[in-house]
């Protein structure tokens, strides 16, 4: 046999259980076999010893805006968009993300390094990326404003998105109360107070009927593109119902347990932030992911702003089987996005496979994407770094 890779002796995570001494066989771009490890290796196959490692599907991230940090490594210090995307791609693969939905914010907020021009450029560059390691996709985040919706409509005339979401950040509506809105944008985002005041007035000025009309326009775009529509920061069951009426079937980052429960009861996919789980709570004192998991309403975790947290999340002990925790960052998001070919360790699935060293914290050691090994690190379990003592001048 040639062109075959056999991964042996790892803890292989399937959708329903963990094979403690498992074997995964890759051929071409697909997984062809998942089983207990036999005594004899396959003849003429490339053999990878995964002893002590977790073998799991590549992560599928439905919402990560970390490319913004690559585009603006410091406020006002913009780099080339293609360079930013290339770096984001590699950072994500190192964190185990093999399918990435870059959440590009169509929001005119120059004090926050967000502009329609930047969003338009990123949206056009993502589908045409060359030399990428992972599968990079476009998630359009549209702020509820006339100018934002107009900008999105212009770009989708030329570019196909893979996911569309609706967001609305205003005082006393959604994520922030009035004081928290000011504190967030002044202290955390470094906006001038006058810019925050102007944004608050503009966003408060939209009536419910205007916001519903704008939401309908976004929903029509998603329907035309035949991609999922997600709501963002649902605060109440009424918010969930309103977005369901517009055709949303993913509820991202619900702010309250009531909203999350209602979304789950209505059959929506509930997606929350992996950093919330890993750090032990919400930055803004909103719904805790751990509480929502305990309530049984979290289907998907997203990286939000920090890809390494997506890798760490399934290793946080929630009292659930490990396979259930892994499904939240692999199979479940893939299914929610309509990508039925990936996200699971099963024969016939796309061969996006990670080898993860779980101790002392999860680190990716090898990555296969469509059966091709795109990342190999040295074995951190056995490597010892030899440091040469510094000697001063003249020594």
Residues 137 and 278 reside in one and the same domain: yes
Residues 29 and 77 reside in one and the same domain: no
Evaluate if residue 127 carries a pLDDT over 70.
yes
Residues 37 and 124 reside in one and the same domain: no
Residues 43 and 92 reside in one and the same domain: no
What pLDDT is recorded for position 1? 42
> Rounded to 5 degrees, what are φ and ψ at 58?
-60, 145
Q: In terms of DSSP bridges, do strands 18-27 and 163-167 run parallel, antiparallel, or are they unpaired?
A: unpaired
Q: Does residue 226 sit within a domain?
A: yes
Tens-digit pLDDT profile for residues 40-55: 999 999 999 999 999 9
Residues 310 and 372 reside in one and the same domain: no
Taking the C-alpha atoms of residue 195 and residue 209, their distance in angstroms, rounded to an integer, is 26
Cβ–Cβ contacts within 10 Å for residue 275, how many? 24
Q: Kindly report the average pLDDT of the chain as a whole number.
A: 91
Residues 98 and 51 reside in one and the same domain: no
Grade residue 200 by pLDDT with cuts at 50, 70 and 90.
low
Q: Does residue 242 sit within a domain?
A: yes
The domain containing residue 32 runs over which residues? 4-57+346-376
User: What CATH number should be reported for the domain holding residue 11?
Assistant: 2.30.40.10
Choice among 80-94, 195-209, 365-379 with the minimum mean pLDDT? 195-209
Q: Does residue 331 sit within a domain?
A: yes
> What angle (nearest 5°) sits at the alpha carbon of residue 19, between those of residues 18 and 24?
115
**pTM for the complete prediction?**
0.91
Tens-digit pLDDT profile for residues 215-235: 999 999 999 999 999 999 999
Q: Does residue 394 sit within a domain?
A: no
Residues 175 and 213 reside in one and the same domain: yes
Instruction: Compute the average pLDDT of residues 260-270.
Output: 98
What pLDDT is recorded for position 109? 83
Evaluate if residue 202 carries a pLDDT over 60.
yes
User: What CATH number should be reported for the domain holding residue 93?
Assistant: 3.20.20.140
Residues 147 and 21 reside in one and the same domain: no
Q: Does residue 382 sit within a domain?
A: no
């Amino acid at each position: 046999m040639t062109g075959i890779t056999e991964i042996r002796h790892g803890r292989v995570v399937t959708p329903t259980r963990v094979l403690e001494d498992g074997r995964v066989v890759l051929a071409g771009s697909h997984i062809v076999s998942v089983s207990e490890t036999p005594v004899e290796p396959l003849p003429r196959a490339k053999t990878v010893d995964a002893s002590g490692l977790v073998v799991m599907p590549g992560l599928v991230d439905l919402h990560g805006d970390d490319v913004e940090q690559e585009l603006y490594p410091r406020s006002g210090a913009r780099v080339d968009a293609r360079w930013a995307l290339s770096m984001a791609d590699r950072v994500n693969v190192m964190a185990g993300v093999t399918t990435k939905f870059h959440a590009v914010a169509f929001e005119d907020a120059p004090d926050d390094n967000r502009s329609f021009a930047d969003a338009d450029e990123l949206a056009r560059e993502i589908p045409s990326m060359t030399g990428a390691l992972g599968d990079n996709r476009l998630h359009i985040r549209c702020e509820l404003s006339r100018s934002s919706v107009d900008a999105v409509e212009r770009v989708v005339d030329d570019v196909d998105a893979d996911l569309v979401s609706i967001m609305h950040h205003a005082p006393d509506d959604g994520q922030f109360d009035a004081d928290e809105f000011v504190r967030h944008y002044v202290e955390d985002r470094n906006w001038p107070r006058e810019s925050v005041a102007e944004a608050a007035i503009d966003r408060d000025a939209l009536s419910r009927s205007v916001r519903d009309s704008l939401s309908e326009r976004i929903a029509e775009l998603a329907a035309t593109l035949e991609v999922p529509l997600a709501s963002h920061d649902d605060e109440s069951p009424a918010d969930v119902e309103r977005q369901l009426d517009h055709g949303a079937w993913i509820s991202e980052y619900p702010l309250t347990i009531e909203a999350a429960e209602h979304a789950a009861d209505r059959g929506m996919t509930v997606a929350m932030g992996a950093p919330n789980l890993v750090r032990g709570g919400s930055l803004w004192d909103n719904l805790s992911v751990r509480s929502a998991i305990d309530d049984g309403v979290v289907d998907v975790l997203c990286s939000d702003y920090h890809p390494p947290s997506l890798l760490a999340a399934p290793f946080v002990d929630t009292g659930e089987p490990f396979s259930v925790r892994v499904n939240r960052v692999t199979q479940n998001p893939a299914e929610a996005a309509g990508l039925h070919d990936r996200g699971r360790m099963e024969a016939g699935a796309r061969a996006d496979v990670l080898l993860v060293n779980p101790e002392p914290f999860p680190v990716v050691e090898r990555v296969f994407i469509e059966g091709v090994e795109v990342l190999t690190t040295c074995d951190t379990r056995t490597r010892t770094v030899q440091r040469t003592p510094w000697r001063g001048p003249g020594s």
